[in-house]
Amino acid sequence: MSLCSLWNLANIPISPRASTARSSPYEQRPAQRNIQSIGKGLLRMARLIMLASGLTALLAVVLYFDELSSTRASAYSLLGQWSSLLQQIPGPSSELDLDNSTSMAWDIRYHLGGNSPWIPKARGIVPDGINLPIGCRVEQVHMVGYLRVWVHLTHPKGMLELYHHIRGANVTLNGTLAFANSWDFFMKNPSERLENLVATGPYAGTLEAFNTGVKLGTRYEHLLDYAIEHNETAFWASGSKRVVETAQYFAAGMYGLEWQNTSRLHIIPETEDRGGDTLTAGKTCFRYLHNADEFGRQYGYRMWNEWREVYLPPITKRLQEQNPAMSFTTSEIYSMQELCGFETIAKGSSKWCDLFTHNEWLQFEYARDILHYYRTGSGNPYSSSIGWLWLNATATLLQQGPAAGTLFFSFVHDGDVIPMLTALDLLPHEKQHLPATHAPQNRVWQTSDLVPMGGRIIFERLVRGEPKQCWDHAEYGYPNHVYCSQSTEEHFVRINVNDGVVALPGCDSGPGRSCPLDQFLERISKKGEEVGDFREVCGLPRSAKAGIEFLHQ
């Protein structure tokens, strides 16, 4: 069957726009979707999953086994188009208006506080998208990714306890919970497989990591070719099994299935003895890790629990009234909300998403925001010191430019990315800390589209203008007469969060609201003075490493 036949079978029109490194289907802005028919959406989802799987396998054979390198760019582009289509598949039915209102379509993924499949950033982005500003080109890229290949449950015990509680109650559930009478856990043998690879459904972690490698390999193809030619293809992952495997799937998409032949993965241990030379500074900062004061890593959980005790009791009461023969704790209600995101990732949809109203989901989202804010974000005094380490090492490379290398990819946990965003001051501080008594409207600190599963933050070094050029008059008999033009190059730093360009507050005067490089470097330097020596802040000996030393090609 031809590729055109596959497209026709899916009944999806092929976009006439060409995919290039500077303009690709990944740069489209997500629009709010109005799902008119669950049946039509599910049928389209089934078609796309089936066809995408077949086409991905077909292209993998063409690319890697037949080694037709001349087709690489076009095939990567086609893979990218299918990746974008997969992201457009209607998600769980909860994307319909749960309250039957006539407002704009509701997308549950933007209210799961990071427990969702990958979503493009939609809040606070530059309207021009990720297309390069006119006259600019990218000459260096840095990415920190938390492309979770795994369904990693921070608190799997709560979900399993809920499952066993429902199964062992011998009670018929009524009302909105009636579906749970026939519900089964989203993976077989869950106690044994909670850390297993998720390779099914439209949000499979393997597919997401691989496709991200394809996306960036296409978008930055000129830098990729240069890096391979000059053997500057090192990339890094923290020493967690799921993080390492995520990096490996990404590398297969970026460099090919035989990525070990052209690139080098460096695994950085997640151990306390690393000091500041680490990707996981939250695990080396002694005072933070061991809760030496009230602001350690448990601070976020304390505030999180306070808010849960405010918003969960009314929900518990509502469900209890529908099922008087069944008792639920507030922790079990919270586990039901967690199941929405995790089951969607594993299976493509979840009926748990339909159990709660819009307002109840907004309250859950705020619970996740509070947790991030006080555990690793602006509400924690250790956060900026922890996040500044990677930011400072990256700033040094941005200053050196492509002479230091063109591509730098690091893979960590989401809890390691938020401190970096805090040190960067990407999200301006709230006028007051987030309260645990109510959820403020229009707050700045919202993390659903900052740290979805599969998220990534990219720093691009942009250049505008022409470099210095020299020539002589050897053809006229004067080889020693050398003339040079003045360089007109200007350099900028642009920040891309989940395919949404974000302006850095107070530093956005460059093209496309990018930050002039010299101002960016000054900003990072001042932040370093503000946060102080990492070793002193964290209670480490002076013999400990003060910063990152491994990040170089």
CATH number, domain containing residue 396: 3.40.50.1240
Of the candidates 197, 275, 264, 199, the residue with the CA atom closest to the CA atom of residue 237: 264
Least confident of 101-105, 223-227, 517-521: 101-105
Q: Is residue 480 very low, low, confident or very high in pLDDT (cuts 50, 70, 90)?
A: confident
In this predicted structure, the answer to whether residue 44 has a pLDDT above a threshold of 50 is no
How many domains is the chain built from?
A: 3
**Range with the lowest mean pLDDT among 69-83, 132-146, 289-303, 380-394?**
69-83
Instruction: For residues 60-75, give the mean pLDDT.
Output: 41
Query: Residue 93: is its pLDDT beyond 90?
Result: no
- pLDDT of 69 > 70? The answer is no
Residue 130 lies in a domain: yes
Better pLDDT: 225 or 62? 225
Question: Are 302 and 351 members of one domain?
Answer: yes
Residues 313 and 448 in one domain: no
Is 362 found in the same domain as 271?
no
Q: Is the pLDDT of residue 67 over 90?
A: no
183 and 140, same structural domain?
no
Question: Are residues 319 and 462 located together in one domain of the fold?
Answer: no
With bands split at pLDDT 50, 70 and 90, how would you rate the model's confidence at 193?
low
Residues 249 and 386 in one domain: yes
User: Of 428 and 253, which is predicted with more confidence?
Assistant: 253
**How large is the average pLDDT for residues 20-49?**
36
pLDDT at position 87 is 41
| pLDDT (mean) for 530-548 | 98
Residue 108 domain flag:
no
* Predicted pLDDT of residue 442: 84
**Could you report the per-residue pLDDT of 411-445, keeping only the tens digit for each?**
999 899 999 999 999 987 666 789 999 999 888 89
Of 370, 399, 415, which residue sits at a domain end?
A: 370
Distance separating alpha carbons of residues 369 and 304, to the nearest angstrom: 9
Q: Which of 530, 533, 529, 531 is nearest to 546 (CA)?
A: 533
Cα 173 to the chain's mean position, in Å? 37
Of the residues 37, 72, 90, the one at which a domain ends: 90
More confident residue, 70 or 384: 384
The rounded mean pLDDT for the chain is: 82
Alpha-carbon distance of 303 to 373, in angstroms, equals: 9
The pLDDT of 454-481, averaged and rounded, is 88
Counting beta carbons within 10 angstroms of the beta carbon of residue 541, is it exposed (0 to 12), middle (13 to 18) or buried (19 or more)? exposed
| pLDDT grade for 509, boundaries at 50, 70 and 90 | very high
Give the per-residue pLDDT at 6.
38
pLDDT at 247 over 90: yes
If one compares 467 and 445, the residue with the highest pLDDT of the two is 445
Same-domain status, 449 and 552: yes
pLDDT at 40 over 50: no
Lowest mean pLDDT across 150-159, 210-219, 508-517 = 150-159
Distance CA 299, CA 345 (A): 29
- Note whether residue 103 is domain-resident: no
Q: Label residue 2 by pLDDT band (50, 70, 90).
A: very low
User: Does residue 306 or residue 1 have the better pLDDT?
Assistant: 306
Q: What is the pLDDT of residue 481?
A: 81
Model confidence at 190, pLDDT cuts 50, 70, 90, reads low
Give the pair of three-digit tokens for residue 178.
């009636």
Specify the range with the lowest mean pLDDT, choosing from 64-78, 128-142, 213-227.
64-78
Clarify whether residues 146 and 53 are in a common domain. no
- For residues 57 and 1, the answer to whether their CB atoms sit within 8 Å is no
Is 243 among the domain residues? yes
* pLDDT at res. 478: 80
Q: pLDDT confidence of 105, banded at 50, 70, 90?
A: confident
Q: How far, in Å, CA of 550 to CA of 553, rounded? A: 9
Range of the domain at 348: 156-194+298-370
In whole angstroms, what separates CA 308 from the centre of its chain?
26
Least confident segment among 22-26, 48-52, 352-356, 399-403: 22-26
Quick one: 182 and 224 in the same domain? no
Q: Quick check: 523 and 208 in contact, CB under 8 A? A: no
The model scores a pTM over 0.75: yes
In this structure, the answer to whether residues 276 and 129 fall within a common structural domain is: yes
Residues 6 or more apart in contact with residue 89 via CB below 8 angstroms: 41, 44, 45, 48, 49, 202, 348
Tell me how far apart the alpha carbons of residues 143 and 209 are, in angstroms, rounded to a whole number: 13
Q: Where does the pLDDT of residue 527 fall: very low under 50, low under 70, confident under 90, or very high at 90 and above?
A: very high
Residue 278 lies in a domain: yes
Least confident of 51-65, 178-192, 300-314, 534-548: 51-65
pLDDT tens, 356-366?
999 999 999 99
| Across 367-393, average pLDDT | 96
- pLDDT score, position 185: 85
Q: Which of 320, 344, 370 is the last residue of a domain?
A: 370
Residues 481 and 542 in one domain: yes
pLDDT of residue 76: 46
pLDDT at 18: 34
pLDDT: is 104 or 217 the higher one? 217
111 domain-assigned:
no
Among 48-57, 114-123, 398-407, 487-496, which is the least confidently predicted range?
A: 48-57
Residues 252 and 145 in one domain: yes
Residue 126 lies in a domain: yes
**Helix (H), strand (E) at residue 530:** helix 517-531
pLDDT of 284 over the 60 cut: yes
Q: Does residue 104 fall inside a structural domain?
A: no
Is 50 exceeded by the pLDDT of residue 259? Answer: yes
Q: Which segments of 70-211 are extended strands (E)?
A: 136-146
- pLDDT of 57 higher than 50: no
Mean pLDDT, range 521-542, rounded to an integer: 98
